[in-house]
Structure 1
Amino acid sequence: MSNATSPDQSSDTASAALPRNLTLLQGTALNMIDMVGIGPFVVLPLVIKTLGGPLFIWAWVLGAFVSLIDAFVWSELGAAFPQAGGSYNFLKISYGERRWGRLLSFLYVWQTLIQAPLVMASGAIGFAQYASYLLPLDEWQRKGVSGVVVLIIIALLYRKIDSIGKIGLVMWGAVLLTLGWIIIGGLSNARIPLADTFQSIGSVSGGLLAAGLGQASVKTIYCYLGYYNVCHLGSEIQKPTRNIPASMFISILGIAGLYLLMNLSVVSVVPWQIAQNSNFIVSTFVETLYGPGAAKFATILVLLVAFSSLFAVLLGYSRVPYAAAVDGQFFKVFAKLHPTRQFPYVSLLFLGGLGFVFSLLFRLGDVIMAILAMRIVVQFVGQAIGLMLLHRRRAAAEFPFRMPLYPIPVLLAIGVWLFIFFSTGLTFMLSGITVIGLGIVAFLISAGVRKQWPFEK
């Protein structure tokens, strides 16, 4: 293995095999379309209902805050170790490649096999839900639509990374067009003064705000997830020490601004009392302003945005089992690259196929909670603690990107992620812990067969 601390060169076979063809613009576009998806369009009413009115805006602010402080962790790790697989490599290197790092990175890949298809399923289920505004669909028809969407995404990703970057830019344009129309249309045709909407915020107690904020923020943070997608594509990004951090912060600030403006725009046209009960809030919003025809067109744009997000999600996650397999810590079949197009086709087909199955089995609300509960302990908290361990072992010069006020952002990230984890509720907390427990058992069995740590002689 080459020097893992050399930031502009990959340190494993996976990185050497994947060409660095993605630019800063393309990486940022893939991040942003991953972040938006169907999330804000289905979550907006749920957040308003959870917080009981105008306090909903704080849940979106908290989501942006969590993403920003966590991006400092990802930026230091992504710039120092720009390899395929993202968190897989970060955890392995942070905790030591021969012992605990082997376990933590294995658990991350183990979770990815479940939570990545869950993310795919959440987007596909939301897509089918919004599609029923255009054409009434019963339960089985919605499941059929969600399954077909996943299959189309797999087909589109079955190609070279350079052409994928171009497709991503087109989809990014659709995202900006949709959100821009909602924002400009609402704020320029406001029917409800924002002062009237938010006048009661100051009268709510801090305890009540904190109680509802946790549950609501689980949903808004789901809408921000994906700002780190560029780290999964680390070995395919040009000038990674600069472009990986830059793409994350540009993505978060850009999407946070768009989300906040979109929320303000919607409640300036549709009263929050009505918005909280709408299954198609964007369609209702546009219909109120421009009529049914425009609402149908807006719904089509929302579906295109959701489709674009699924595209970016599967692209990024398909590199994780591939990186682990190339590293010798996962089934060898996942290390295979397409013979002419140079992409990890086995990993792509496996995760996409499981996403197809999950899209037929689960409900959207449960999927959103399960995604966060499953990922927080190992990936977000584990990764933040791992960075602190790295800082104790390595010199500052080995980190091309350094966060300001270290370690305050890291400690804040850990605290807020644990708050969000407990806010998912006991059922989903236990499900996340159960997945970790099963992963530990699988790791021990695998290590025992291979005579590796902790069974090595």
Structure 2
Amino acid sequence: MSQMCGIGPFVTIPLMVAAFGGPQAVIGWIAGALLALADGLVWAELGASLPGAGGTYVYLREAFQYRTGRLMPFLFVWTAMLFIPLIMSTGVQGLVQYLAYLWPGMTTVQGDVVGVAVLALVLVLLWRTVEGIGAITVGMWVVMILSVGAVILASATDFHPSLAFTWPARAIELTHGRFWVGFAAGLTIGIYDYLGYNTASYLGAEIRNPGRVMPRAIIHSIIAIMAVYLLMQVGVLGVINWQDMLDPGNVAAKSVASAVLERTWGRGAADTVTVLILVTAFASVFAGLLGGSRVPYDAARDGMFFRSFARLHPRHGFPVLGLIAMVTVTAAGFLFARHLGDTSEHPPLSILIALLTSVMVIVQALAQIAAVTVLRKRQPDLARPYKMVLYPLPSIVAAVGWLVIYGYADEANEGVHPIEWSLVWVALGGLAFLIWSRVEGAWPFGPKEVREEYREARYADTATPPAG
């Protein structure tokens, strides 16, 4: 839940209202939760049966090694090198947006400098042996809860039902194409806000009884966060006129939580909560880059990515190249979205969300959905302490949801071209894989290496494991 909430709801409520064109934006939070639940069941089955460190990397390695060798886990790490920093870029952008509430005269260039300076500070703080990260996570959770609680409570003290529940005429037109474009944009924002429900899967090797814990962690966190988001969305709409969130010059469009606190409890309370939100944003970027820098390191150490990413700092023991690469791409994504936003009608945060979700769809979301079916066929006797309820219905629902996000990405973000960018990045990943596999002598330039690690572990005590 700490990973799911973070800075997200404080910066995306105006985007959700803009996507739907009114207070019917609550539909987006519900639709996002349903997609997260369906996709979460995919994660639950894979995480329970393949409880290793690495999450998607492990699942794709096990499922697709039979036909394509190391290609799919390599492509996942390659795409993670882009979508993880883009997620962190949204945190930096959110921080700059809320800082503008305390610094009204901040220019675009000054905002750029602040964002880059924040990332430089993160790099300095991570350039050492990091201890006490658990305390940092708990601290971030406490600050986030205080911020969210303050916004919800403040909204309740000055709530106007007529603002929150009066929908525009023809708010829902299922036969009109524009509604579905807005729905796809809202679904994209919604699933972005729920991202993090899969965090437990990346810690599978350290979870006791993952078959029971993994599904509960995923499902309970999604339901709880959905309740938080709905309370915030409805509460904010009951205080702030939704048209104000569509006005780029209005504080509610960029710092809606601060606007709520100022209107209900005064400027002093608004400043205090804004500072808490800034701390939440910084802590989420710090923790995200700490974990993200380990993704290419784990794969390289396992022989599935460029070996240079497996090198550790000689003194402090952290993956040097992974950290530098993640921070660099985060800075590039932050600056790219801000300056592209200057030449398009889309705010930088919306651009970043569109790009990162589009990159995720191909190699993570859809590939994992396919992995469930492939593993059931290839390794039918694999220990599955949890099996997806109503299989394959959740897989189908998740696939449809992700395809809606991907299919409407260009239309909902005119001038940004997220589909084209995602295809280019995956194509570059394919080229990088060919170069890497040629150097390593791996498939397709060498034999495939099939390791049914989890299946073999189940039969380690028997004389001969069943034939594959």
Structure 2-normalised TM-score? 0.84
Q: Structure 2: which 5+ runs fail to align? A: 248-252, 339-347, 412-416, 448-468
Q: Which amino acid aligns with 2:353?
A: I
CA offset at residue 342 of structure 1?
A: 5.8
1:432 has 2:407 as partner: no
Structure 1 residue aligned with 2:244: 274
Structure 2 residue aligned with 1:24: none
Alignment of 1:241-252 (within 5 A): 241-252=211-222
* Partner deviation per Cα, 1:57-102 (whole Å, 9 max, x = no partner): 1011111111111111111112222223221111111112x54251
Aligned mates of 2:313, 2:53 — CA distance in 1: 16
Q: Which amino acid aligns with 1:255?
A: I
Aligned mates of 1:100, 1:74 — CA distance in 2: 22
Contact kept, 8 Å, 1:54 with 1:201, in 2: the verdict is: no
Contact kept, 8 Å, 2:333 with 2:352, in 1: the verdict is: no
* Candidates 109, 126, 150, aligned match of 2:94: 126
Sort the Cα spacing of 1:202 and 1:213 in 2 relative to 1 into closer, same or farther, 3 A: same
CA offset at residue 344 of structure 1?
A: 3.9
Alignment of 1:201-280 (within 5 A): 204-208=172-176, 209-277=179-247, 278-280=253-255
Aligned mates of 1:129, 1:225 — CA distance in 2: 21
Structure 2 residue aligned with 1:103: 71
Contact kept, 8 Å, 1:55 with 1:201, in 2: the verdict is: no
Structure 2 residue aligned with 1:298: 273
* Candidates 365, 370, 379, aligned match of 2:364: 379
Contact kept, 8 Å, 2:28 with 2:183, in 1: the verdict is: yes
Aligned mates of 1:401, 1:205 — CA distance in 2: 40
* Partner deviation per Cα, 1:419-443 (whole Å, 9 max, x = no partner): 1111211621111111111111111
* Partner deviation per Cα, 1:181-222 (whole Å, 9 max, x = no partner): 11122123313446x624558863223443321122212222
Alignment of 1:393-404 (within 5 A): 393-395=378-380, 398-404=383-389
* Candidates 27, 46, 53, aligned match of 2:22: 53
Higher deviation after alignment, 248-257 or 343-352:
343-352
CA offset at residue 157 of structure 1?
A: 4.5
1:446 has 2:430 as partner: no
CA offset at residue 262 of structure 1?
A: 0.1
Q: Which amino acid aligns with 1:92?
A: R
Aligned mates of 2:148, 2:49 — CA distance in 1: 34
Contact kept, 8 Å, 2:85 with 2:327, in 1: the verdict is: yes
Contact kept, 8 Å, 1:157 with 1:164, in 2: the verdict is: no
Q: Which amino acid aligns with 1:332?
A: R
Aligned mates of 1:34, 1:151 — CA distance in 2: 22
Contact kept, 8 Å, 1:85 with 1:321, in 2: the verdict is: no
Contact kept, 8 Å, 1:33 with 1:312, in 2: the verdict is: no
Aligned mates of 1:164, 1:171 — CA distance in 2: 10
**How large is the RMSD of aligned CA atoms in angstroms?**
2.4
* Partner deviation per Cα, 1:338-361 (whole Å, 9 max, x = no partner): 667665454233312332343334
CA offset at residue 373 of structure 1?
A: 0.9
Q: Which amino acid aligns with 2:220?
A: I
CA offset at residue 407 of structure 1?
A: 1.0
SS at match of 1:269: coil
Higher deviation after alignment, 337-346 or 211-220:
337-346
Contact kept, 8 Å, 1:179 with 1:262, in 2: the verdict is: yes
Q: Structure 1: which 5+ runs fail to align? A: 1-31
